Structures are given as C-alpha cells and as structure tokens.
Amino acid sequence: MIGALSARHTRYHDWHAGWKLVGLCVFCTVIGFAQWVVAGWTGLILVLGAARLEGGWFLRMILGDLKSAALIAALIAAFQLALGSPMKGLEIAGGLLACIAAAMMMTRTTSPAELLDTVDGWLETLGMNERPRRKLALAVALTLRFVPALSERAQRLTEAHRARSPKRAGWRILPPLAIGALDEADRAAEALRARADLN
Amino acid sequence: MERDLTRIALFAALIAVLGLMPRLTLASGIPLTAQSMGIMLAGTILGARNGALAVLLFLGLVALGLPLLAGGRGGLGVFAGPTLGYLIGFPLGAFVTGLIASRFEHRMAFVPSLTGAFVGGIIVVTVCGIVGMAVMMGVSLAQATTFALPFLPGDVIKAVLTAGITAALWKARPALA
C-alpha cells in the first residue's frame, strides 16, 4: 500500500480514525476562527508536544513533513511584513503550520483503509445506499491498483523511447500511455461485468 | 456502468502518475509539473461528469493520506495550505473543460479540446487558485494574481499538449468520443 503511514507504532495509531478526523476538523476550525496570533502558535506547540511524547523520532518525522509548509509560511510572513502588518503574517503562518502539523499527525498514524472505513461508516449513517458505497470502495481499490501499473507502463515506455532516440521522452510517451491505459481499464471493466453486479 | 467506473479510477490514477513524472523548468525558472494536465485530460477524454468524478476520487485519496500530489504531498494538511483554491478548482476545471468541449460537434478534436482545456483547465482553475491564495494568505486578489501569473505560460503549453494528446487518442480510438 502506498501511503505516509508511520510503520513504527505510536499510541495515536490506536485512537479511532473517526475521532481523530473529528478532532482535526474541530482543531482547524478553532485555529481558523481565532483571529489571534497566539492561537496558531499555541496549537503548533501542542501538536509538536504531542508528537514529542512518542519520542524524538516521531517529532522529527512531523517536522520533516512541515519543511515545505514552513517555507510557504515564511514567505507569507515576509510578504505581510512588507505590507506593514507583521502580526497578520505571524497569525496566518502559525495557523497554517498548526493545521498542517495536526493533519500530518493524523496521516502518519491512520491508514488510508481505516479512513476509508470511517468515511464509509459515516455515509451509511447518513443513509447512503450500499450500492454507491460499494462503487466508491471499488473505485478506490481500482485506482490503487492502477497507480503502480501506470507508473510501470510509463517507465517501460520511457526506456523504449530512450533506446530508440537521443531526445528526452517527456510528453511523447503520453499518447501511448493513455491508449494502453484505456485498453487496460476496458479489460478491467469486462472482468468486473463478468464477476460483479454493479447495476 | 463498469466501463465508467474503471475509466474514472484509471484517470484518478493517471493524474497521480503525472504528478510523479519529472518536472520541467521553463526558461523563466518556473517549474512545470504534468499533474494539472491530467485534470485537463480527464475533462477532454472522459467528459464533464466523469472527468470531475475522476478528479474528486483523486482528491479523496490525497485526503486519505496517499502522497499523490506533485512532489509526493498528501494528507489533509494540503487542504489547509495556500493551494486549497487550486484543489477546489481542479474538479470544477475538469467539469468545465468537458462541458465546453462537448458543445462542439467532435468533442475530442483538437480545437474543442484546446478551447475546453483553456477555459476549464486554465481560467477556472487559476481563478479558484487566486481566490484561495487571497483567503489563505490574507492578501488582496490583485496581489494573489501576481503570484499566479508566472505559471500561466506553462499552463498554455499544457493545454496545447492536452488538445494534441486528446486528438491523437480520438484518432486511435474513435469510439471514445
């Protein structure tokens, strides 16, 4: 399974995915509505403190996830400083980093399958029929199957192009990639029609 | 039914794989990733509804934590960043791309695909991106527009490539249209 789930177990892995998702929504909403510089930075310290409870390795993992966000936050803060409102820049940067850190904590400790089960359970509670939920689950499974298959096909096409031309393959492999992929999708559709009743 | 489902899943995967392809850098120094071309292709090849569903499925998987966005990003965190507007614009862009292309007699020919990709894949996505940046970064719309402008030449190149690829697919598989 492709994903960002931490292979090393933490206490947060044992928390129910649904509660984590609700907690994340509440956290981000509170940070978003609190027009207060301290709110975002306090939230960030709380999240990083919670990560530190698991040890330095987990804190470093979350800090690593924040690298590109930190660059964007710094740019926002610098831009707001140039506009003459440094506090606004600090408020936005703090809130942004706190929400992204909390979301990455959740992503690192919850498998996509758990999250999908949670969403499926919520859709069931909301009264969605089994058929569309089944289709959604099947679409997710097919996509996860197609991603490595397409990557492999793209790699093979690139190598074949490289063997025949000194030019870089680039976009030239896209038409054959798309044609081959569409044929594969149609074969998968035939197989589904033979084995599953989606109508 | 099954064919629609597998094609939607396929294009969600294709958008992901295009994000993994090596990025090009324009002469201006602006990096160019192929992922937004996947959004345009979903609209021109699958049509408005299925194209938008493919993009929504892709974004759903990103939200579930799969690192499928360009640069290997994923998780709910990306929905809290300044690119939120672009993420909202992606399914809308695919829908408008397909909708506009379908107004022509042969929706997968070069001109309909180019028109659809230009309006849906560039204008709609960029407008959503600019509004998103203005809200998330606390800047004015004019300032956010200046951040988005350097990416437009790359987007035009991607729209032309999308139209070329869609027309080539139409020639190879006329039944797709």
pLDDT in tens, B96-128: 999 999 999 888 999 999 999 999 999 999 999
Distance CA B32, CA B28 (A): 11
In chain A, which among 45-84 make CB contacts under 8 A with chain B?
65, 68-69, 72, 76, 79-80, 83
Phi, psi of A148 (to 5 degrees): -65, -35
User: B14, A196 in Cβ contact below 8 A?
Assistant: no
Angle between helices A56-65 and A86-109 (to 10 degrees): 120
Distance CA B120, CA B90 (A): 9
- Band (pLDDT 50/70/90 cuts) for residue A3 is low
Averaged pLDDT of chain A: 84
Chain A and chain B share a number of CB contacts under 8 A equal to: 172
User: A149, A184 in Cβ contact below 8 A?
Assistant: yes
CB within 8 A of A84, min separation 6: which ones?
A: none
The two structure tokens encoding residue A102 = 């909390």
Measured over the CA atoms of residue A71, residue A74, residue A76 and residue A78, the dihedral's sign is negative
**CB distance B66–A3 less than 8 Å?**
yes
Checking if the pLDDT of A29 tops 60, the result is: yes
- Band (pLDDT 50/70/90 cuts) for residue A197 is low
pLDDT reported for residue A125: 87
Which of the pair, B46 or B81, is modelled with greater confidence? B46
User: B21, B71 in Cβ contact below 8 A?
Assistant: no
Checking if the pLDDT of B90 tops 60, the result is: yes
Note the residue count of chain B.
177
The pLDDT > 70 percentage for chain A reads 96
In chain A, which among 97-126 make CB contacts under 8 A with chain B?
99-104, 106-107, 110-112, 115-116
Distance CA A106, CA A27 (A): 12
> For B32, which DSSP code?
E
In the three-class reduction of DSSP (H, G, I as helix; E, B as strand; rest coil), residue A168 is classed as coil
Chain A residues closer than 8 Å to B75 by CB: 4, 65, 103-104, 106-107
* Nearest CA-CA partner of B52 in B40, B69, B63: B40
A2, A106, A181 ranked by CB distance to B10: nearest: A181
Q: Summarize the confidence of residues A127-148 as an average pLDDT.
A: 83
Checking if the pLDDT of A30 tops 80, the result is: yes
The pLDDT > 90 percentage for chain A reads 17
Tell me if chain B has a CB within 8 Å of the CB of A199: yes
Checking if the pLDDT of A186 tops 60, the result is: yes
In chain B, which among 11-40 make CB contacts under 8 A with chain A?
12-14, 16-17, 20-21, 24, 34
Domains defined along chain B, listed by start: 2-22+33-176 (1.10.1760.20)
In the three-class reduction of DSSP (H, G, I as helix; E, B as strand; rest coil), residue B105 is classed as coil
- Per-residue pLDDT of A64-85, as tens digits, reads 888 877 887 888 888 888 878 8
Which of the residues B18, B59, B61, B145 would you substitute to probe the A interface, choosing the one with the greatest number of A C-beta atoms within 10 Å?
B61
HSE-CB at B127 with a 13 A cutoff on CA atoms is 9
Tell me if chain A has a CB within 8 Å of the CB of B55: no
Residue type, A119: V
Which of the residues A143, A145, A162 would you substitute to probe the B interface, choosing the one with the greatest number of B C-beta atoms within 10 Å?
A143
Chain A residues closer than 8 Å to B8 by CB: 139
pTM of the model: 0.80
**CB distance A143–B1 less than 8 Å?**
no
CA of B162 to nearest chain A CA: how many angstroms apart?
Answer: 10
Q: Summarize the confidence of residues B79-87 as an average pLDDT.
A: 86
Distance CA A75, CA A77 (A): 5
- Per-residue pLDDT of A111-120, as tens digits, reads 878 888 888 8
**At B25, which helix (H) or strand (E)?**
strand B24-25
**CB distance A92–B136 less than 8 Å?**
yes
Measured over the CA atoms of residue B105, residue B111, residue B113 and residue B116, the dihedral's sign is negative
Measured over the CA atoms of residue A55, residue A59, residue A60 and residue A62, the dihedral's sign is positive
Distance CA B58, CA B56 (A): 5
* Nearest CA-CA partner of A66 in A76, A78, A74, A56: A74
**CB distance B41–A178 less than 8 Å?**
yes
Q: Which residue is it, tokens 């939120």?
A: B84
**CB distance B77–A68 less than 8 Å?**
no
The two structure tokens encoding residue A87 = 């506090």
Max avg pLDDT among A7-21, A166-180, B110-124: B110-124
The two structure tokens encoding residue A5 = 């789930």
Q: Summarize the confidence of residues A8-21 as an average pLDDT.
A: 91
- Band (pLDDT 50/70/90 cuts) for residue B55 is very high
Checking if the pLDDT of B68 tops 90, the result is: no
Tell me if chain A has a CB within 8 Å of the CB of B64: yes
**CB distance A178–B165 less than 8 Å?**
yes
pLDDT reported for residue B22: 63
Which of the residues B1, B7, B15, B17 would you substitute to probe the A interface, choosing the one with the greatest number of A C-beta atoms within 10 Å?
B17
**CB distance B67–A2 less than 8 Å?**
yes
What is the predicted ipTM? 0.87
pLDDT reported for residue A33: 75
Tell me if chain A has a CB within 8 Å of the CB of B158: no
